[in-house]
Structure 1
Amino acid sequence: MTLLFVVCELTLTDLSASILAFLPTGWAILLIGQVLRSPIKALGIWDSVKELGRAYEKIMGLVIFAPIAVLSWFPIVSEFQARLLFNQAFSKGLQISMILAGRKDKAASSHK
């Protein structure tokens, strides 16, 4: 990597573009390996293909869910998430504290 940065004048933008280009390529190679399961088993490298697939899944899970986990530690994100998920309820004036306390709304009980 150092040689690429020094000799080829590789930048971080080039590196990130390369990673984004090779991720789907690696996934495609794994899918082709699954399709060619019988010949790969005959060659005796099926266990290696399975382990490579498991490693790929773990890495992709970290890439996708690590930012979500870090963002979930910030209180403003959880407030935004609650507002986004329950926007319709908030706009209708739903009071969560009444639901949690187990009290019934007088207007809702009079409509029954």
Structure 2
Amino acid sequence: MSDQPTLRDRAIDAIARDLNAGRFWLPTEGRPVAADAVLALVAVELETSQRRSIRIQTLLDETRDRIRKLHRPVEHMGRVICAERSAYCGESTDNPPAPAPCPTITALNAAA
């Protein structure tokens, strides 16, 4: 058993301290009830925030994958070029061939 106060213990102490500072009264038995209510709300908010973070990370990963597919390296006339920057269409390019990895992929890899 740890000598460190739990989050619940700290919440009960904070409730007692803040109620006393504001000259409010709450029976000692009511403090754990108030702390549990606040902690339950915090737990819901934390879970919601974690789900939101996971969703954002998933969207970011999917976006990176789409960018990598667009800027994929392809071989063209003995050179490896960026398909997107070169406007590669399977046999020819509409733009001058841009070497791979292109600046977009280089920046994406540096950020990962």
The answer to whether the superposition gives a TM-score over 0.5 is no
Query: More helix by proportion, 1 or 2?
Result: 1
Give TM-score scaled by structure 2 length: 0.30
Structure number with greater CO (CA < 8 Å, separation at least 6) is 2
